[in-house]
Amino acid sequence: MEWLKVEVGPCQRILLILVLMYSKCIQCNPIKVTSEVTRKTLIEMPKIQLDKPDSYICMAVPVTDLEFSTVVGFKIDVIQEITHHVSLALCEEYETNQTVWDCKSGHGHICSGRSAVFGSWDGGSKNHNVGILFGKDVKLNYVVIQAHFKEAVPDPDALKSNPTNVTLFLTEDSRNYSYQKVILFSSGYIPAFSDDFKAEIICKWESIPVKLYEYFAHAHNYGQLIEGYIVRNNTKILISMDKPKGKSHDTVQIEGRHIEIRPGDILAARCSYRNKGPSQIQFGLGFFDEMCNLELSFKYDAKQIDAFPQSVKCGSDAQDRVWCPNGGHDQVDVLCDLQHEATTKMALEDIYKLIM
Ligand SMILES: *[C@@H]1O[C@H](CO)[C@@H](O)[C@H](O)[C@H]1NC(C)=O
Ligand SMILES: *[C@@H]1O[C@H](CO)[C@@H](O)[C@H](O)[C@H]1NC(C)=O
Ligand SMILES: *[C@@H]1O[C@H](CO)[C@@H](O)[C@H](O)[C@H]1NC(C)=O
Ligand SMILES: *[C@@H]1O[C@H](CO)[C@@H](O)[C@H](O)[C@H]1NC(C)=O
């Protein structure tokens, strides 16, 4: 699934017993929702016995079971006390031969080959005219669901219902736009005793023009502010500015602002942290690690299907102050100016006014 290339520490091995009254996972409900969505297909993850908290379980469904050929949205329903967070992907291949498996050790790498990984994208995206064509011809052969379970589940039979459901919205015809995302992230660490440490990320867009329509900004416990910009000819365009809320994955729509990324643009992001403690904090996926993660969902011309076989990754080491000097990119002096600006609460409120 490859949605982060941050270094991961040795993962805690968990003992896991998969009890698999794995009956029939797919039920095709011929429900006509709108003229756009021709079919809703429910995929239920079976009840599974988990003897440790904080487990990651994956499940793969061959797309040949889905009948229709384009995903235009999905909906996730979970029992919140049990299932914490669900990711969904279409993949060419995945890491095991099993249908349901423990995917904690492969953290973030459950697909191989071509893939489209959705952070959050629901039926509301219909009007973006975005769809993802799947099947052998486009090398997307499996739907893979990854669920993060907060608590142990010692007695799955006691659960009232399956705790993790994914409903796919499907249609037979293609869409004008396809979906992919760009992931900006930091590696390295936050030094001890730092009042305002900034992890900066920068990279150049070398691909075709795309339109942004949704993002999420994600940090863990020390994040104060997460900012994203496009720099074009030394002018900055604000994409996002958020105060991170714990480990939230909430997505924000940016469709109304029609932000385009053009070839030659610079994508820039930074996260500001306060770490008053005596230890440095690593960036990573572990519970005690920190993250600086800005994921931008975009749509692009579906005729150019080969432009983005996977998500685009853009990572920088937090110890390299890549914004200024400019990490080897021209025309980004504006980031140097910004580097010296204090990111005050006032500035944040101004920005919100701008966005609204
Ligand atoms: C999942 O779907 C099944 C079948 O419709 C339903 O009984 C169950 O309550 C659903 N679970 C959740 C968490 O929505
Ligand atoms: C999957 O199964 C094939 C054939 O049974 C085997 O050769 C291959 O090693 C298996 N792969 C994994 C990852 O278990
Ligand atoms: C989608 O593409 C078709 C065929 O290229 C075109 O006729 C139609 O106007 C497009 N629709 C939108 C909303 O762009
Ligand atoms: C920057 O400006 C130059 C000259 O005005 C123009 O040729 C170039 O296309 C611009 N670059 C971008 C990425 O817009």
Q: Which pLDDT band, with edges at 50, 70 and 90, does 90 fall under?
A: very high
235-276 pLDDT tens trace: 889 999 998 877 776 788 886 677 999 999 999 999 999 999
Residue 26 counted as domain residue: no
Same domain, 159 and 208: no
End position of a domain, from candidates 149, 171, 193: 171
Give 353's DSSP letter: H
* Ligand 4 centre distance from Cα of residue 235 (Å): 11
- Name the residue at shortest CA distance from atom 13 of ligand 1: 78
Domain contains 130? yes
Residue 42 to residue 179: CA distance in whole angstroms: 21
Residue 199 lies in a domain: yes
Ligand nearest to the CA of 80: 1
Looking at the structure, tell me whether residues 309 and 187 fall in a common domain: yes
213-225: average pLDDT: 91
Q: What is the mean pLDDT of residues 200-211?
A: 95
181 and 318 co-located in one domain: yes
Asked if residue 162 and residue 82 are part of one domain, the reply reads: yes
- pLDDT for the residue 107: 62
Given 3-state DSSP classes, what are the helix, strand and coil percentages for the chain, each rounded to the nearest 5? Answer: 10, 45, 40
Q: Is 264 near ligand 4, meaning CB less than 6 Å away?
A: yes
Tell me if 239 sits within 8 A of 263, measured CB to CB.
no
Whether residue 64 contacts residue 166, with contact meaning beta carbons closer than 8 Å, is answered with: no
Interval 17-28 mean pLDDT: 32
Q: What is the pLDDT of residue 37?
A: 65
DSSP state of 322: T
Q: By alpha-carbon position, which residue is closest to atom 9 of ligand 1?
A: 161
Domain with 192, as residue range(s), is 177-355
pLDDT digits (tens, 9 = 90+) for 305-323: 899 999 999 999 999 988 8
176 lines ligand 3 (CB under 6 A): yes
What is the whole-number distance in angstroms between the Cα of residue 115 and the centre of ligand 2?
21
Residues 226 and 335 in one domain: yes
Residues 201 and 342 grouped into a single domain: yes
Whether 22 is covered by a domain: the verdict is: no
DSSP 153: B
Report how far apart, in Å, the C-alpha atoms of 323 and of each of 215, 269, 337, 348 are.
21, 9, 10, 20
18 within domain boundaries: no
CATH code for the domain in which residue 116 is found:
2.60.120.310
Contacts by residues 286-290 (CB-CB < 8 Å, ≥ 24 positions apart)? 286/8, 286/9, 287/54, 289/9, 289/220, 290/190, 290/219, 290/220, 290/221, 290/222, 290/223
- Say whether pLDDT at 223 is over 90: yes
Does residue 13 sit within a domain? no
Probe target for ligand 4 pocket from 205, 229, 233, with the most ligand atoms within 8 Å of CB: 233
Backbone torsion region of residue 195, taken as left when φ is above 0, otherwise alpha when ψ lies between -120 and 50, otherwise beta: alpha
Same domain, 81 and 209: no
Q: 120 with 214, same domain?
A: no
Query: Between 35 and 10, whose confidence is greater?
Result: 35
Q: Within 10 Å of residue 270's Cβ, how many Cβ atoms? A: 27
Give the count of domains, the chain: 2
Quick one: average pLDDT of 157-174?
Answer: 89
CB 233 near ligand 4, within 6 Å: yes
Q: Is 78 in the pocket of ligand 1 (CB under 6 A)?
A: yes
* Lowest mean pLDDT, pick from 58-62, 77-81, 233-237, 242-246: 242-246
Name the average pLDDT for the chain: 80
Do 239 and 108 share a structural domain? Answer: no
> Percent of the chain at pLDDT above 70?
78
11: in domain: no
Instruction: Verify whether ligand 3 is closer than 6 Å to residue 129 (CB atom).
Output: yes
Domain boundary among 115, 145, 171: 171
Same domain? For 157 and 199 the reply is no
Domain end among 136, 171, 206 = 171
* CATH code, 272: 2.60.120.230
Ligand 3 mean position, distance from CA 175 (Å): 8
